[in-house]
Amino acid sequence: MRRVGARDDEAAHGLPLRKRLARWEERNKVVSSWLAARGKPAELGKVHPDDFFEFIPTFVTALPAGQSFSRHCFETATASMAECGASCVEITMDVAGKASPLCEDLYLFGSVETFHVHEFALAGRHRVTLRGLSPVELADLKANGMRVFHFKSEVLADVVAFADTLAMFLQGNLPIGPPDVSAHEAALNVAFLEEKMQITLEPRDAGLVNMSQIVPTLENGDFFGIIRLDGLDPMIAWGMGSLLTGHTVAVWKPSVPTTVNGVTYPPGVYITESQTKSHYWPVNLIQINPIDKWIEMAHAASYNVVHLPLKPAVRAALNESAMAAYLDEVVGTVYGFANFLVGWIDSPDDNYPEPLSLQLVGIVFALLEKISPPTAELMWNQMLNHRLNTTGLDCYQLYAEMAARNLSLGAVLSIPEQDDWRYLMPGWAHPDKPIPASVCDVHVCRFLKAGGAFGSLTPHIQCTEFTNWDVYSLDFYDPTPARPQTCVDADPDAPLCQLMGTIKQPLHMAGSVTPYPHMREHCGGIAPNYYWGQKC
């Protein structure tokens, strides 16, 4: 990191320190109350206010054009960029109107090849000279400008924010240790969801219901909504606006012996899902598990699970043979990392939860091209090649192609994903074979689509454009079913049967949306104001 001006001794987070401490205490009360309800020591819950993901810098502008803006330390800042030689650019920053003696502004300047971080603590003119730029970087700067990002606080506070965020993920995703989620980690995730999604979560003490009453009620195509309070599921729910799921699975109930991927399944109740193997989930790939085995694994992994049944008329119309044929095609293939991002990116700039931005995502994946080309190819390059109708271009070539066509990255990412696109993905038996890419909710949607649930709309529905909420809000599902007595006893006031978990799990607007052509292909919306209720 290059230093510009003097370093202060106290963090500036956009709020006066006394207000920041007050919000810290407010957050601690939330987490401590949750822990106390679980019979755990309240002191485990100490976290900082507003720190989850707040180490990520926010996008300000793109240079070279002169741009003026205001940030928490300096009331006015003007930035411009000019060439200073064949492979050199100079950024000029004029800052004035310092809010307090102890504040500073921390900026990140980024391109497709490098990041440059600089502190501004003194008023006046500052120059940042970048030399030895490559032809690729110069071409990017000409097409897209130098992206300017601002951190909400100084370095030490950003480290604390990163540590607080990491604590949401750490225990529940470590490759060692028990498969469950600790009460401390669950409490952090509850606090995160309540703040970011502006919801209130209620503790649930009933535990696992009597599954002997549940299994006989499960039918083909039923939906299980799942959230594991491990950082990952809550992050997905926050980004997608899925109240309250980070993972989804479907019930498969063959009525006759059925062979899928070389395995013959007798009639019974099974769960099919797109999943990855981890320390808490021992089975890899798109898979089928007997219901008893699945419940055992889910309970051990600290899942919160709610059951949403199909309406009887929808279920009766399903083509069981076609659903089995779909499973035969995809079971044993890998989780859909290749289109994970674009299922919820539907607009140029209105799907990125703050402080994330399109501009930051674009340069992060360009840098990933240098650090781990296979990862960039898997999660970024292939889906961009599909959208540009090109083949085999790497990230830099793709960005150059967009510039040549006068297309923005946001516009390209907004092109709807197509269910018939195929991807090369490692991690399964045939990595050289192009296959459909399905994350968890896409697999559930494709399963229903294969069975004919969308009827005449089938050619006009792209399941790969759906999020978890998009699936469970379909009016295929019954939001007020009759519940077995064990569910009523466990959660008297809940509309759905919750099978297990430590939080009450509402499914917002479940079973309420009638499908329509090109459903969910152009839906903007950022937490906490998502696109719920829109026909997009």
Query: In whole angstroms, what is the distance from residue 22 CA to residue 10 CA?
Result: 16
What total of structural domains would you count in the chain? 4
Answer yes or no: do 120 and 22 share one domain: no
Answer yes or no: do 327 and 220 share one domain: yes
Query: In whole angstroms, what is the distance from residue 457 CA to residue 442 CA?
Result: 17
Query: In whole angstroms, what is the distance from residue 230 CA to residue 253 CA?
Result: 30
> What does the pLDDT read at residue 50?
65
> What does the pLDDT read at residue 46?
52
Cα dihedral 63→66→68→69 (10° resolution): 0
Per-residue pLDDT reduced to its tens digit, 428-444: 999 999 999 999 999 99
> What does the pLDDT read at residue 8?
30
> What does the pLDDT read at residue 48?
56
Per this entry, what is the length of the chain? 536
**Residue 327 covered by a domain:** yes
> What does the pLDDT read at residue 26?
56
Answer yes or no: do 168 and 35 share one domain: yes
Answer yes or no: do 47 and 82 share one domain: no
Per-residue pLDDT reduced to its tens digit, 311-354: 999 999 999 999 999 999 999 999 999 999 998 899 998 899 98
Q: Is the pLDDT of residue 450 over 80?
A: yes
Per-residue pLDDT reduced to its tens digit, 180-228: 998 888 988 998 999 899 889 999 999 999 999 999 999 999 999 999 9
Give the domain CATH number at 258.
Answer: 3.90.1720
**Residue 520 covered by a domain:** no
Answer yes or no: do 473 and 451 share one domain: yes
**Residue 72 covered by a domain:** yes
Sheet holding 88-98, edge to edge: 67-69, 74-85, 88-98, 124-130
Answer yes or no: do 42 and 179 share one domain: yes
**Residue 251 covered by a domain:** yes
**Residue 134 covered by a domain:** yes
What's phi and psi for 434, nearest 5 deg? -65, 135
Confidence band for 37, pLDDT divided at 50, 70 and 90:
low
**Residue 73 covered by a domain:** yes
Answer yes or no: do 406 and 478 share one domain: no
Answer yes or no: do 44 and 162 share one domain: yes
Answer yes or no: do 240 and 315 share one domain: yes
Residues 534, 521 contacting (CB under 8 angstroms): no
Q: Is the pLDDT of residue 43 over 60?
A: no
Confidence band for 499, pLDDT divided at 50, 70 and 90:
very high
> What does the pLDDT read at residue 167?
86
Answer yes or no: do 451 and 488 share one domain: yes
How high is the mean pLDDT of the chain?
89
* CA nearest to 269, candidates 210, 334, 212, 227: 212
Per-residue pLDDT reduced to its tens digit, 263-312: 999 999 999 999 999 989 999 999 999 999 999 999 999 999 999 999 99
**Residue 350 covered by a domain:** no
The long-range contacts involving 483-488, CB below 8 angstroms and separated by at least 24 positions, are 484/209, 484/210, 484/213, 484/214, 484/217, 485/213, 486/209, 486/210, 486/213, 486/214, 487/209, 487/213, 487/214
> What does the pLDDT read at residue 41?
43
> What does the pLDDT read at residue 27?
52
**pLDDT above 90 coverage of the chain, percent:** 74
Residues 140, 44 contacting (CB under 8 angstroms): no
Answer yes or no: do 171 and 34 share one domain: yes
| Domain assignment of residue 384, given as a range | 358-413
Give 251's strand partners. Answer: 271
The tokens for 311 are 């309406």
Answer yes or no: do 305 and 320 share one domain: yes
Query: In whole angstroms, what is the distance from residue 47 CA to residue 43 CA?
Result: 10
> What does the pLDDT read at residue 412?
98
Amino acid residing at 250: A
Query: In whole angstroms, what is the distance from residue 510 CA to residue 307 CA?
Result: 11
**Residue 190 covered by a domain:** no
> What does the pLDDT read at residue 11?
32
Per-residue pLDDT reduced to its tens digit, 225-253: 999 999 999 999 999 888 889 999 999 99
What's phi and psi for 169, nearest 5 deg? -100, -25
Q: Is the pLDDT of residue 65 over 90?
A: no
Per-residue pLDDT reduced to its tens digit, 378-408: 999 999 999 999 999 999 999 999 999 999 9
